[in-house]
A and B are shown apart, each in its own frame.
Chain A
């Protein structure tokens, strides 16, 4: 079974028509997993579990059920809880953690017939995507193995190990890694997908997003995952739109804005800069209006995001104390035990990050820095909202650079990760944002980021489809070619 050139909708139709195809599907998935082992994409992948899932689905199909994602292979980042796999957050702390529950998202995907094949690698607790803090080592980029994938989720989609991947996007992690791996990804509006059962590190910014290889698949996956959930108090109460059926490229008038400060970041690679500029020309040629607008505070977003996410991480990860679950170091007394356990189990990067969170929320800095960052957040949010009242979309590169080399520089500690330059603002504002794959002259993938109005993922999906139709098919690396 060739999973490279098939869309999710086609696969579901075929499998529903002939459940005998499930066997070759699961065999291909296993082959792909074996071929891609070197990439270090998965933390958990179990052939037996996959066989159980396909058998269960075959039985449902035989009973006449017609679930909407039947037979579609999907992966989950390893911070989305599953009863059937450990959920490690790529941290030594949770290497043995078996959640006694599955995330609401997992329940909906299973109910809709998706095959959850495995749990994917990530930065420890999902914190950033251009580093090397995973307890399981860095996930390698399928395009060039010496580069980072940013996340196993995006890499799995890029190699067809899965047609859909679900992973969290806090300051931009999923969008960035999708950009590094040349796949599409959407981070919906804050609250659109339930966070119940998701181990997040910065609750006010974190959203589950989806990566896929086509806009249509993205819409299908988002439709399956989105919707109100009484178990998540921040879940949007409004029903999610039926994205898949609303999807049409349209030729209508579309006004896009580009922040005029888009190229004012020292991290911007020439390849990405040229690529973005030529994309803008193509987009104009498609009849989409593009204006450069002044967004004075867009550039402040990574700063505010760093402070806010560090404070929330400091607090959210305080339950990692070696009492009810997780690693416990040996110590004579309780408070010492906390420090020993956490210091042994957390990466150096994470320790520094939550240390910073504790520092910036201390009495001395609370008002001066933390509260100020929260006010900056308000200003950024207001500015984006005003801009999106006038324009349908905001366009930027997704990351200032293509996938970084997985060398020593990955270990560098950044509070102000340059990868967050474009992705932090919509994350702070809770806006939906989509990354569409583009390519630099060197042939490496990069991303075009589309930011939309809150609650309106449909507009982003439609624009994405319009981009997709206006160009040659997307490229993907040959699996196992490395």
Chain B
């Protein structure tokens, strides 16, 4: 669970961790109660419908002006977003 929280980049306190473990256990129990054998032969549904994808022509469209692309940034200089140092001490 610690690993999962880290991979989702959220910090859970011990109360939250326990609560989540408890609820996950419930879900897993219910899932386990459904026999795997009934489902093995079924395709997984990963999409909202069965309509195939389409493609777009390779023609250029307008990009955002710099004022808008950087407009929502918590930290930026005149042309780039800025992030804290990448390597941990």
Q: Taking the complex as a whole, does A directly touch B, i.e. does some CB pair lie under 8 Å apart?
A: yes
Q: Which residues of A contact B (CB under 8 A)?
A: 96-98, 100, 189-191, 203-205, 207, 230, 233-234, 236-237, 300, 303, 306-307, 314, 318, 321-328, 331-340, 342-343, 346, 348, 351-352, 354-360, 362, 365, 368-369, 371-379, 381, 413-416, 428, 430, 454
Instruction: Establish whether residues A333 and B72, one from each chain, have CB atoms under 8 Å apart when the complex forms.
Output: no
Instruction: Establish whether residues B89 and A358, one from each chain, have CB atoms under 8 Å apart when the complex forms.
Output: no
Between-chain CB contacts (< 8 Å), 6 pairs:
A204-B46, A324-B81, A348-B16, A375-B39, A379-B42, A381-B45
Residues of A contacting B87 in the complex (Cβ-Cβ under 8 angstroms): 333
Contact of B31 among A307, A331, A343 (CB under 8 A): A307
Interface size class on chain B is: 35 or more
Residues of B contacting A368 in the complex (Cβ-Cβ under 8 angstroms): 31
Q: Which residues of B contact A (CB under 8 A)?
A: 1, 3-12, 16, 19-20, 23-24, 26-28, 30-31, 34, 36, 38-40, 42-49, 51, 53-54, 56, 64, 68-69, 71-75, 81, 83-89
In the bound assembly, the distance between CA atoms of A333 and B71 in angstroms comes to: 23
Residues of A contacting B8 in the complex (Cβ-Cβ under 8 angstroms): 314, 318, 342, 351, 354-355, 357-358
Residues of A contacting B88 in the complex (Cβ-Cβ under 8 angstroms): 332-333, 335-336
CB distance from A145 to the nearest CB of B (A): 29
**Closest 9 A-B residue pairs measured CB to CB?**
A325-B72, A374-B44, A190-B48, A359-B4, A328-B74, A358-B8, A100-B68, A338-B9, A358-B4
In the bound assembly, the distance between CA atoms of A282 and B32 in angstroms comes to: 41
CB distance from B11 to the nearest CB of A (A): 4
Contact of A307 among B27, B36, B53, B68 (CB under 8 A): B27
In the bound assembly, the distance between CA atoms of A306 and B51 in angstroms comes to: 24
Residues of B contacting A339 in the complex (Cβ-Cβ under 8 angstroms): 6, 9-11
Instruction: Establish whether residues A359 and B83, one from each chain, have CB atoms under 8 Å apart when the complex forms.
Output: no
Instruction: Establish whether residues B46 and A342, one from each chain, have CB atoms under 8 Å apart when the complex forms.
Output: no
Instruction: Establish whether residues B23 and A354, one from each chain, have CB atoms under 8 Å apart when the complex forms.
Output: no
In the bound assembly, the distance between CA atoms of A358 and B3 in angstroms comes to: 9
Instruction: Establish whether residues B23 and A375, one from each chain, have CB atoms under 8 Å apart when the complex forms.
Output: no
Residues of B contacting A346 in the complex (Cβ-Cβ under 8 angstroms): 10
Contact of A378 among B5, B43, B49, B74 (CB under 8 A): B43
CB distance from A261 to the nearest CB of B (A): 15
In the bound assembly, the distance between CA atoms of A375 and B26 in angstroms comes to: 19
Beyond the given A352-B20, A377-B44, please list 14 additional residue pairs across the A-B interface where CB-CB is below 8 A: A97-B72, A191-B51, A204-B47, A207-B48, A236-B51, A333-B85, A333-B89, A334-B84, A335-B88, A352-B19, A358-B5, A368-B31, A428-B45, A454-B49
CB distance from B84 to the nearest CB of A (A): 5
In the bound assembly, the distance between CA atoms of A471 and B53 in angstroms comes to: 44
Contact of A376 among B20, B39, B89 (CB under 8 A): B39
In the bound assembly, the distance between CA atoms of A430 and B48 in angstroms comes to: 6
Residues of A contacting B44 in the complex (Cβ-Cβ under 8 angstroms): 371, 374-375, 377-378
CB distance from A157 to the nearest CB of B (A): 26
Instruction: Establish whether residues B23 and A189, one from each chain, have CB atoms under 8 Å apart when the complex forms.
Output: no
CB distance from B77 to the nearest CB of A (A): 14
Residues of B contacting A328 in the complex (Cβ-Cβ under 8 angstroms): 74-75
Instruction: Establish whether residues B84 and A203, one from each chain, have CB atoms under 8 Å apart when the complex forms.
Output: no
Instruction: Establish whether residues B39 and A303, one from each chain, have CB atoms under 8 Å apart when the complex forms.
Output: no
Interface centre among B8, B45, B46 (most CB of A within 10 A): B8
Instruction: Establish whether residues B12 and A351, one from each chain, have CB atoms under 8 Å apart when the complex forms.
Output: yes
In the bound assembly, the distance between CA atoms of A378 and B46 in angstroms comes to: 9
Residues of A contacting B47 in the complex (Cβ-Cβ under 8 angstroms): 204, 234
Residues of B contacting A234 in the complex (Cβ-Cβ under 8 angstroms): 47-49, 51
Instruction: Establish whether residues A355 and B1, one from each chain, have CB atoms under 8 Å apart when the complex forms.
Output: yes
Instruction: Establish whether residues A352 and B74, one from each chain, have CB atoms under 8 Å apart when the complex forms.
Output: no
Contact of B45 among A203, A342, A359, A377 (CB under 8 A): A377
Instruction: Establish whether residues B49 and A351, one from each chain, have CB atoms under 8 Å apart when the complex forms.
Output: no
Q: Which residue of B lies closest to A338 (CB)?
A: B9
In the bound assembly, the distance between CA atoms of A151 and B51 in angstroms comes to: 31
Instruction: Establish whether residues B71 and A372, one from each chain, have CB atoms under 8 Å apart when the complex forms.
Output: no
In the bound assembly, the distance between CA atoms of A375 and B40 in angstroms comes to: 8
Contact of B10 among A233, A327, A354 (CB under 8 A): A354
CB distance from A229 to the nearest CB of B (A): 11
Instruction: Establish whether residues A98 and B72, one from each chain, have CB atoms under 8 Å apart when the complex forms.
Output: yes
Instruction: Establish whether residues A332 and B85, one from each chain, have CB atoms under 8 Å apart when the complex forms.
Output: yes
In the bound assembly, the distance between CA atoms of A228 and B9 in angstroms comes to: 36
In the bound assembly, the distance between CA atoms of A6 and B56 in angstroms comes to: 44
In the bound assembly, the distance between CA atoms of A351 and B56 in angstroms comes to: 36
Contact of B49 among A191, A334, A413, A415 (CB under 8 A): A191
- Contacts known (A323-B73, A355-B8); A360 close to B83, Cβ less than 8 A: no
Instruction: Establish whether residues A359 and B72, one from each chain, have CB atoms under 8 Å apart when the complex forms.
Output: no
In the bound assembly, the distance between CA atoms of A360 and B3 in angstroms comes to: 12
